[in-house]
Structure 1
Amino acid sequence: MYDLIRAKLAKGDTVILDGGTGTDIQRRGVPMSSNTWCAEANMSHPEVVREVHADYIKAGADIIIANTFATSALLFNALGRDDELLAIDRAAVAIAKDAAKGHPVAVAGSMSTMRPVVAGSDRTSKQQDWPEDKARALFKRKADNLAAAGVDLIMMEMMRDTDYSVWATEAAQATGLPVWIGISVERHDGKLTGFGREDQDFDEVARVLSALKPDAISIMHSSPNDTDEAIDVLRKYWKGPIGAYPESGYFKMPDWTFVDIIPPDELVERSKVWKMKGVSAFGGCCGLGPDHIIALHKAFS
């Protein structure tokens, strides 16, 4: 199914991504886990997860992303749940593939470097780190499992540094599947850095991750304002396809707070500006739902 996406990108056509999966699951009343956010929903509420995917397909998404962001190899290792991660991911991919059946839609597996998050915040706990060889092994296990489950591509999401993000991406690329890198940014002292990694200058992150030569690079889970500047920086190093799928609202573990959500028409106007900068894939991340994807599909398809 990824051949359809590849052909669209080659022709310069627009690709529509889905919106925030985890936050839409929460919006539909599924309780979030204090440790693993939306990961448990794949097992406890599979019908709701399927409904979320189905609604994004109905909205016009060309790619849906299985609910595997929060099943981070690092997070589940910290919790002593390595084997459970594999089972949850298989279930998540099966749910997404079932929703996509009969539709010209690619199913992506999501990989993140999410670590334990401090309760009531969106900040990573600083209490645990992993040596490179251990982290690479954990990322490889997850990537191989997603590939075996039958995803069409792997979306690296919330990449933000020049260590864990590189190791995770190389594990995904080793599967032979198409890989998109999604980079998240925020602003510290007026300067763009990796999200939650104020020690990581975004310019350097963009340079290093571009050198990995993925199939596409997106700016994602970033504010619309920061996305503007991040696209300009990324363009210095990356000449391939670019995506943009911002967040709106804010996270206080384990729940997303739906305040000041960007209206669909404003997202479309922002996306038109990004398109003029060379962006060809559009969607939404946390806080953005099917209405946003409907608006993007109408504007660009």
Structure 2
Amino acid sequence: MQDLTLKTLLDQGPVVLDGAMATELEKRGVATDSALWSATAMLDHPDAIAAVHQSYFAAGAQIAITNTYQANVPAFVKAGIAAKKARQLIQQAVQIAKDARADYAASHPGFQAVIAGSIGSYGAYLADGSEYTGKYHLEPAAYQEFHRERLDLITGVGVDLMALETMPKLEEVQALVDLLTKTHPQQKFWVSFSIADPQTLCDGTPLAEAAQWVAQQLNAVAVGVNCTALENITPALKTLASAVDLPLIVYPNSGDQYDPTTKTWQRTARSHQFDDYVGDWLANGAQIVGGCCRTTPHDIATVSRIMRQAEVTDE
């Protein structure tokens, strides 16, 4: 398991990513309607986090994203948790994912998966929906100061790669990747953007331009989009595929609609219709496919099934 990399998995064919953490925690009785979102579970329900990871492994996921997207020391401190405890919780989230993988592998011979350390944007820390608008600005050094501690904590425990996800602003990604490259020069990563439309980041940067910048970075292993509507994925893939040769990663929302004011979701007619889309995503170059907000192990099992069927057809 220690020698397994994302590239190793990709060499074997399209790779299945996991799905939403918060949705599954809610099903287990964990409240997530706060600024800490799913990170609240680290306080009182670490076993629930482990159970969610294992439910995705059982559904076919080959990548587990750590429960650290919204977990950063300033957010915990703002919620009344001491900084020392916050640091422990962030590292605990990484270890939970690694232990869940080890436990699942112990009872499932041949199982392989990598762990991706989640880094959400500064907009996610603001907890006001800014990761979907990009309406914030810091100087590069300030972005780096915000992200530095969490990067160090996650890499200190050890992950197979970093997931820089739901990123609405190229300037923040550039500052973050510069920090990561200088402080952890061997650490592989992917960047997944938050988009306004299939051609444009939330900050107005052309998606093709942003992807091209990522593709030029030495340790980048994939680029793509996440936390967007199912119907945006195919046109976004066409934009990406025309711009870069890097493996493409996509993990849309379930189709439910989010209200950042009430921090709740409403089901729509397009909710959980992965059956209708995954084949097109694969045909348009997707190499890593999973789910973001409100997706479930059932959705990931659908992704896995369609991927395996596509492999048989190709043979």
Shift of 1:125: 9.5
Shift of 1:184: 1.9
Quick one: percent identity of the two aligned structures?
Answer: 23
Counterpart of 2:205 in 1: which secondary structure? strand
TM-score by structure 1 length? 0.85
TM-score by structure 2 length? 0.82
Amino acid at match of 2:257: Y
Q: Structure 1 residue 97 and structure 2 residue 98: aligned? A: yes
Q: Which residue of 2 aligns with 1:136?
A: 144
Amino acid at match of 1:88: L
Q: Which residue of 1 aligns with 2:8?
A: 7
Larger CA deviation: 49-58 vs 216-225: 216-225
Amino acid at match of 1:299: I
Shift of 1:255: 3.3
CA distance in 1 between partners of 2:256 and 2:226 (Å): 14
CA distance in 1 between partners of 2:242 and 2:274 (Å): 24
8 Å contact from structure 2 (residues 224, 240) kept in 1: no
CA distance in 2 between partners of 1:262 and 1:143 (Å): 36
Shift of 1:231: 1.1
How much is the aligned-residue C-alpha RMSD, in angstroms?
2.8
Pairs within 5 Å for 1:55-204: 55-72=55-72, 83-102=84-103, 103=105, 104-113=112-121, 114-118=124-128, 129-173=137-181, 174-175=183-184, 176-187=186-197, 192-195=199-202, 197=203, 199-204=204-209
Shift of 1:186: 2.4
Cα pair distance change 1:9/1:125, threshold 3 Å:
closer
Counterpart of 1:101 in 2: which secondary structure? helix
8 Å contact from structure 1 (residues 78, 116) kept in 2: no
Cα pair distance change 1:39/1:241, threshold 3 Å:
same
Amino acid at match of 1:51: A
8 Å contact from structure 2 (residues 18, 61) kept in 1: yes
Cα pair distance change 1:240/1:193, threshold 3 Å:
closer
Counterpart of 2:116 in 1: which secondary structure? strand
Matched residue pairs, number?
292
Q: Structure 1 residue 29 and structure 2 residue 29: aligned? A: yes
Q: Which residue of 1 aligns with 2:311?
A: none
CA distance in 2 between partners of 1:144 and 1:56 (Å): 27
Cα pair distance change 1:272/1:50, threshold 3 Å:
same
Shift of 1:66: 0.9
**1:200-231 residue CA offsets vs partner (Å, 9 max, x unmatched):** 34343333333335111122111122222211
CA distance in 1 between partners of 2:269 and 2:210 (Å): 28
Residue among 230, 233, 241 paired with 1:227: 233
Structure 1: give runs of 5+ residues left out of the alignment: none
Larger CA deviation: 18-27 vs 272-281: 18-27
Q: Structure 1 residue 273 and structure 2 residue 252: aligned? A: no
